[in-house]
Amino acid sequence: MKLAKEGLLTIIVTAVLAVIFTILFPGRLITIAMYILCGFVLWFYRDPDRVFPEGENILTAPADGKIVEIEPAEHPFTGASLKIGIFMTPISVHINRVPCECTVEYIEHVPGRKIPTFAPKASEVNERNYVGLRTSYGPILIVQIAGTMARRIVCRVKCGDTLNAGDRYGMIKFGSKVDIYLPADIKLSVKTGDNVYAGVTILGVVKK
């Protein structure tokens, strides 16, 4: 199983603690609990390879999870757009991916609160990281939003980086939300309540 590099230290620490607890407290509930924690950490940091779907002018989901909102929106980087909000649970794959071939043009980290990400105002008041992408379809913005359990937003890219469709660009540790601002005239392939998978699920087709 492939693992996210950001989790290697946590995985090593929990594995070492599990061994120590086995030596000190063999057969105890606390030792069993430590192995369960170790298993959860391994599961959380899994990073499966994905195959980008075939098709023309398609944009894929930036995160695994459930679509909780689809609404018109506006941002200085994108102008008028269509925002799709994806809620990630603690058991989702937390690696985030770009929806198409692109160049990173804008990055901004905004400190903030950590209220539950299903709250209506979470996208506006929580800690978040904006990544603006220049694409052949126009500007696209992805926003990583920290939630109640999220302890760290990871962004692996920098301005000027060129990425292929479906490439990994970051992750959010322990549950959160990702918003994506798409071209306003996109023909959607999804609806609220759908489960989506980063780099695999087609959100829609761009009219060119």
Model confidence, pTM? 0.88
Alpha carbon distance 183, 65 (integer Å): 21
Tokens linked to 101: 């071939």
Per-residue pLDDT at 129 exceeds 80? yes
Q: Which token pair is 36? A: 């369960």
pLDDT tier for residue 160 given thresholds of 50, 70 and 90 = very high
Query: Is 103 in contact with 162 (CB distance < 8 Å)?
Result: yes
Question: pLDDT at residue 113 above 80?
Answer: no
Query: Looking at residues 151-160, what average pLDDT do you find?
Result: 90
d(CA 56, CA 64): 22
Catalytic residue among 92, 123, 136, 176: 176
Determine the residue type at 164.
N
Annotated active-site residue 176? The verdict is yes
Q: Return the beta strands (E) in the chain as ranges.
A: 58-60, 65-75, 79-88, 95-97, 102-110, 128-135, 138-146, 152-155, 162-163, 168-173, 176-183, 187-188, 195-196, 202-205
- Structure-model confidence comparison of residues 119 and 206, the more confident one: 206
